């Protein structure tokens, strides 16, 4: 049996095209996910639609090869900084930015503009998003300064989707990562985090990748200890259609947390 991949393995064995095809072809996602993807898009929309989370500069941590996690957020910030650990994911984002990426995110854009109900067209929303992207930066959450060698003043908003559980090997390292994210954020700024609960692996193509099996209580406790106040928490268990062929997650969550001043 192949060893579960982790860390530097991503640079060799994680293939963006396979990941997008398997998980982000439509809002239905992969068969093993049930309705996780649509749930995540609903959670993202609801987190920002209230208008409490806003600011000039937004950092998305571990964007991967997909931009779904910043569509709803893009109306509530002026500048967007995308980031990822692997060169191939950053190259995929660059292709999206210059219009050469074959994969389309139109169904995700359509979902968001329909939820917002302002009559905006998906292509127009995508164009606005692209205009706000400052750049696509290397990021390694296992380093003391994750964005080095780039240096930035603290951000107003930090978003992240399905990243921290893949980066942290254990609960102690998850808490260290939460602290590092906190140092990238302004006092009073917000973290908006979407993640999975109880997952130990997920598959992309022929490879299995490690995931930290973590509970809702553990996530909340760690962020509170890291100097945050949780202002919103949404959680949903896996649906009845769920199977464990591609992953074994037990549920998903979205957390909005404010950094203490």
Query: Using 50, 70 and 90 to split pLDDT, how confident is the model at 127?
Result: very high
Q: In the chain, what are the domains?
A: 9-259 (3.40.50.150)
Joined together, the tokens standing for residue 54 give: 């806003």
What is the tens place of the pLDDT at every residue in 50-87?
999 999 999 999 999 999 999 999 999 999 999 999 99
Q: What is the mean pLDDT of residues 120-127?
A: 98
Give residue 130's pLDDT: 98
216's CB contacts (< 8 A; 6+ apart) are 197, 233, 235, 251, 253
The pTM score is 0.95
Parallel/antiparallel/unpaired status of strands 228-237 and 251-259? antiparallel
Joined together, the tokens standing for residue 98 give: 């210059």
| CB burial string 93-110: b at 16+ within 10 A, e below | beebbeeebebebebbbb
Give residue 52's pLDDT: 93
Query: Using 50, 70 and 90 to split pLDDT, how confident is the model at 29?
Result: low
Is residue 19 over pLDDT 90? yes
Give residue 80's pLDDT: 98
What is the tens place of the pLDDT at every residue in 195-206?
999 999 999 999
Place of tokens 């292509």: 123
Least reliable range by pLDDT among 199-203, 232-236, 238-242? 238-242
Q: What is the mean pLDDT of residues 29-42?
A: 74
Is residue 35 over pLDDT 90? no
Give residue 27's pLDDT: 78
């Amino acid at each position: 049996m192949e060893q579960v991949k982790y860390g530097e393995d991503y640079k060799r064995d994680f293939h963006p095209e396979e990941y997008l095809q398997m998980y982000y072809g439509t809002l239905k996602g992969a068969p093993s996910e049930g309705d996780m993807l649509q749930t995540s898009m609903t959670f993202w929309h609801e987190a920002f639609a209230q208008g409490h989370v806003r600011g000039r500069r937004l950092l998305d941590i571990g964007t991967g090869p997909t931009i779904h996690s910043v569509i709803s957020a893009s109306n509530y910030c002026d500048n967007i900084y995308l980031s990822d650990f692997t060169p191939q994911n950053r190259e995929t984002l660059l292709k999206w930015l210059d219009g050469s990426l074959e994969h389309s995110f139109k169904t995700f854009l359509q979902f968001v503009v329909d939820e917002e109900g302002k009559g905006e067209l998906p292509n127009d929303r995508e164009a606005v998003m692209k205009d706000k992207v400052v750049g696509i930066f290397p990021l390694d959450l296992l380093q003391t300064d994750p964005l080095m060698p780039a240096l930035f003043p603290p951000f107003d908003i930090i978003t992240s989707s399905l990243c921290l559980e893949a980066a942290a090997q254990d609960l102690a390292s998850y808490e260290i990562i939460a602290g590092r994210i906190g140092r990238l954020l302004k006092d009073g700024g917000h973290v908006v985090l979407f993640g999975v609960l109880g997952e130990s692996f997920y598959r992309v193509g022929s490879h299995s990748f490690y995931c930290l099996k973590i509970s809702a209580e553990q996530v909340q406790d760690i962020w509170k200890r890291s100097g945050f106040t949780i202002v919103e928490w949404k959680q949903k268990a896996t649906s009845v259609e769920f199977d464990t062929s591609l992953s074994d997650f037990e549920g998903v969550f979205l957390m909005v947390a404010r950094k203490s001043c």
